[in-house]
Amino acid sequence: MNKMELVAELARRVGLTKKQANMVIDELVDLIKDELRRGRSVRLIGFGTFTVRQRAARKGRNPRTREEITIPARKVPVFKPSNQLKEIVR
């Protein structure tokens, strides 16, 4: 399912126009991004949790030159599905 299919299905289920459903989805995604940018987590009971984790610096290798390089530490977004979501998918 792509975004436009999601918008159409949300509009049908909730009784919104497609334009309104698109705005709801866009705002939800923006809200999650803003919270992650601030280092906070977003927990949706029954669905899962979006968090930010710190990855440590590590050694790597340039595949072209085989030269050893240092990959810097960075923050990465992580999604952990809830147990309910895992059961539904099984």
State residue 35's pLDDT score: 97
pTM of the model: 0.80
- 50 lies in the same domain as 61: yes
Instruction: Please list the residues that pair with 87 across neighbouring strands.
Output: none
Cα–Cα distance measured from residue 80 to residue 49, given in angstroms and rounded to the nearest whole number: 5
Cα–Cα distance measured from residue 46 to residue 62, given in angstroms and rounded to the nearest whole number: 42
Residue range 61-90: average pLDDT? Answer: 94
- 58 lies in the same domain as 71: yes
CA atoms within 13 A on the CB side of 84: 6
Residue 24 to residues 3, 30, 44, 67, Cα–Cα distance (Å): 12, 10, 16, 48
- 35 lies in the same domain as 3: yes
> What's the total number of domains in the chain?
2
Instruction: Please list the residues that pair with 89 across neighbouring strands.
Output: none
Give the residue numbers spanning the domain of 83.
Answer: 41-90
- 56 lies in the same domain as 90: yes
Q: How sure is the predictor about 78, in pLDDT bands with cuts at 50, 70 and 90? A: very high
pLDDT digits (tens, 9 = 90+) for 4-30: 999 999 999 999 999 999 999 999 999
Q: How sure is the predictor about 49, in pLDDT bands with cuts at 50, 70 and 90? A: very high
